[in-house]
Structure 1
Amino acid sequence: MRTSVLQLRRCLERSGHRRNLQRSMSAWRTTSMPERRAKVVVVGSGRMGQIRSSLLFANPRFELAGVVDVNFDGAANLAQSFRTRPYENIEEAVLDNKGDLDGVVVCSPTFTHEDVVTNAASYGLDVFTEKPVDETADKIRHLFNVVEEANIQLCCGFQRRFDNSYVSATKSVHTGQIGKPVSASLFFADHPCPPKEFLLNGGNIFMDLSAHDVDYIMHTLQDHVVSVYATGTSSTEELEAAGVHDNATMMMRFSKGTVVTLFMSRSATYGYDQRCEIFGEEGLVSVGNEHKHSTTLSNQAGIHQSNLKYSFPQRFHQAFGTELDAFADTVLLKEKWPVTAENCIMVQKVADAADISCKSGQVVEIDYSDMVLDEQDVEPPAVAVGW
């Protein structure tokens, strides 16, 4: 920088433009200075806390100011990895940073979200949270009311809205390239399979796996689900005895007539399988799987490709980064977050209806009488597309 300033000064002096020197220097500094960094803390030192901390640490738009966890040892270990400080609660983090915090990234279990979001709101901190915002539609509505009163934003991370491939498919639908959507098929097979203990102790497949796809397809169709039929199966006697499904299918009917099927599985042996097809009156758009690498070997033995990406951190790495850039825009530039309170509540209502349908064997109509429905979502973030 010093060399560039001296060169600019000498050039202006030699050319006789001394009186323009100050103006030019001021303009040079203005265009060269980076924006202020958003100072945030991560709440939760588990798997998602580790993923988000890594991305925040690598993103020049953020300063990772600490890791918060009631498990102080977990917070300390994660904080040490990224040269920041551990805390047991948000109040400690705020006081230690002398009130100079901008936001909170919530990666703790869902049952903690109410306390975390409420505390963050009391300090005027914008909040990014993993889905779901809370455990019920009423609790979700309450938290959005809390942040509205505090004049901050609550940003729920539905990552398909930020994935380049899914965003490209959405744009194809929104710009009419497939005509009126008739049907859609969504496929979600997890990898690796979660531990048996997780499945037996609250691993509800409709609550855990459906949210991202349900939000995505409602956003893409600009429509809402009016009824759900769901069914599920258990792959082991132990899971069946506990009433836990590790494979399930949802059939959703939308208000404009589109029928959408979502298949979910806890385990695909070959990698993380995420697909989407949307069929319209004038065409079809699909999102395929991503492999570990793009090499294809063809010989007499057949055509060979690598396995699919290992799990969600690998498949949605780009989307997670884009989400955090959007959160930086929210914190620093006061941009509106694209996922609304209504979006989050509707997703929860669909998951609740699917759970009821699976248990009852009946189609469940969804009650939106307590909501004002508006399908005019915020436009998806701009990404480079192939057409």
Structure 2
Amino acid sequence: MTDHPPASPRPGGALRCAMIGAGRMGQAHAQVLATVRGVQITWVMDVSEDHARHVAAELGAQASTDLAHVLAQPDVEAVLISTPAGTHADAIEAAARAGKAIFTEKPLAKSLEDAARAVRAVEAAGVPNQVGFQRRYDPAYVDAKRRIDAGELGRLEGFRAVGRDPEPPPTGYLITAGGLMVDMGGHDLDLARFLVGEVTEVRAIGGALVKPELADHGEHDTALALLRFENGALGTLEVGLRTAYGYDIRTEVLGERGRLHIEQDRRPDLTVYDARGVSHDRPRHFSERFPAAYAAEITAFARGVQTGHALTPSVRDALHSLQLALAAQHALVTGETVRVPEFGEEIMNEFPLEGRS
């Protein structure tokens, strides 16, 4: 049961949403939301009143620092949560109790215990829910998934992912973000599951090559992981927090009949030839690489809530991606080879996925 009845969407009208969190990710969402039809931001909530007011003014919304106040408003049917990872579970629980449809950025939480608490709340309330693994909505990844599911590659044998940011966030953020494999590698590990299947075993090595002070906190800015999939395929993941050339995201799936390679190496589609040689620009940040994916996932969320169609990935699906990311982080910190199905097994047994025991 919910504490409040769900808000009633306007027939044929925009989905009225509250943006919970107006930091870096929230402001990136604000830029995308301005281009998305069918979504109206009515409230912006952030612990920083200045941030809330600034983003709200851009969106023509009201601002608040009080989550409970925002959730009580009749012109809020759904929430878009992009607060720090450690606050996601509490915000999800509160929104579920208030009967709101929920879109939340990954990860669900920084621990399986907190994430499971959020999943229980959402499923008990029966509210629509979606987690922001936006790459699942990127046109290239959508096409790759279609081809894989259609059997074009035949038996899957290999997976490779590269994820590198152009520069690291502040050290204070990194030591509270939950670990490199969760914060940076989480998207790539979700793609491993999405494109190839469940991972049964992970091992990892890493270092503090960009920000040596991270070693004092047991954190990393560069890492490599090895993956063994349930279907027998093998995979690698490379993550890092500095490049000299921009945002570097690459994904490869190898099968017995061929290979799919996803990479956006230039932006815009212009090559310059001059006395210095040949050059082209490339995406510098995630907002430049994935604007279509962010717009598509939010549009899918809005349409799904309005029509009652299933949303994906759900909080339960995202819990399994978090299990893999936390297992990879544990392998990175300890040097152990981790059996993923056994990592947090007692908790995960409560939340089986269809087709997985």
TM-score normalized with structure 1 length = 0.82
Mapped pair 1:262 → 2:237: yes
Task: Count residues with an aligned counterpart.
Answer: 339
Mapped pair 1:362 → 2:336: yes
Q: Deviations over 1:70-117 (max 9, x none)?
A: 22222112111222110122332345x4x2321000011122222221
Aligned match of 1:273: 248
Aligned match of 1:40: 17
Distance 2:95 2:217 in 1: 37
Deviation at 1:152, TM superposition (A): 0.3
SS at match of 2:25: helix
Distance 1:79 1:301 in 2: 45
Mapped pair 1:113 → 2:104: no
Q: Is the 8 A contact 2:53 2:62 kept in 1?
A: yes
* Aligned residues with identical type, % of pairs: 27
Aligned match of 1:306: 280
Out of 57, 71, 81, the position equivalent to 2:34 is: 57
Aligned match of 1:245: 220
Aligned match of 2:57: 80
Q: Is the 8 A contact 2:272 2:280 kept in 1?
A: no
Deviation at 1:141, TM superposition (A): 2.1
Q: Bigger shift: 51-60 or 129-138?
A: 51-60
Q: Deviations over 1:345-381 (max 9, x none)?
A: 22122122222222322211123551434359xxxxx
Aligned match of 2:153: 178
Out of 360, 363, 374, the position equivalent to 2:354 is: 374
Identify unmatched segments of 5+ residues in structure 1: 1-33, 377-387
Distance 1:202 1:42 in 2: 21
Q: Deviations over 1:301-331 (max 9, x none)?
A: 64x2323201001101110000110111122
Q: Is the 8 A contact 1:224 1:375 kept in 2?
A: no
Residues 1:372 and 1:149: Cα distance change in structure 2 (over 3 Å): closer
Aligned match of 1:330: 304
Distance 1:353 1:216 in 2: 16
Distance 2:190 2:114 in 1: 18
Q: Bigger shift: 47-56 or 163-172?
A: 47-56
Distance 1:110 1:188 in 2: 19
Q: Which has the larger radius of gyration?
A: 1
Distance 1:202 1:276 in 2: 24
Q: Deviations over 1:135-163 (max 9, x none)?
A: 22232222122112212022101011000
SS at match of 1:367: helix
Q: CA RMSD in A?
A: 2.0
Q: Is the 8 A contact 1:158 1:215 kept in 2?
A: yes
Q: Which amino acid aligns with 1:356?
A: H
Out of 117, 121, 144, the position equivalent to 1:169 is: 144
Out of 36, 49, 67, the position equivalent to 1:90 is: 67
Deviation at 1:133, TM superposition (A): 1.1
Q: Which amino acid aligns with 2:198?
A: H
TM-score normalized with structure 2 length = 0.89
Mapped pair 1:123 → 2:103: no
Q: Is the 8 A contact 2:226 2:237 kept in 1?
A: yes
Q: Is the 8 A contact 1:102 1:331 kept in 2?
A: no
Q: Is the 8 A contact 2:128 2:311 kept in 1?
A: yes
Q: Bigger shift: 286-295 or 157-166?
A: 286-295
